[in-house]
Amino acid sequence: MVYQDKQFQSEEMFLQKIINAENVGVAVKTARLEKGLTQKDLAGNILSEKTVHRIEKGQVLPSLFTFLYILSRLELSADSFLSLLSDLFL
């Protein structure tokens, strides 16, 4: 039997409700614009502008590597990004 406390279960349910391609895309675009970056700036040398565009349009959920790269380009922690998602969609 796996033990999960109620707080963990409620946090997990919260994340499942707001983490989807469309919401992540809106949050990435919001953070990018707040930093005054273009899609090309965000893409840097690793991603293509088309990839950033597709993420921001909610057409694709970024892989973990891509997500962490984007957070580093935006100078955001994962906690800050989750807070932004919460502010935008709850």
pLDDT score recorded for residue 56? 98
pLDDT at residue 1, as a whole number: 44
Rounded-to-integer distance, Cα 55 and Cα 10, Å: 27
pLDDT score, position 33 = 98
Q: What pLDDT is recorded for position 2?
A: 52
Give the chain's residues under pLDDT 70: 1-11, 14
Strand, coil or helix: 8: helix
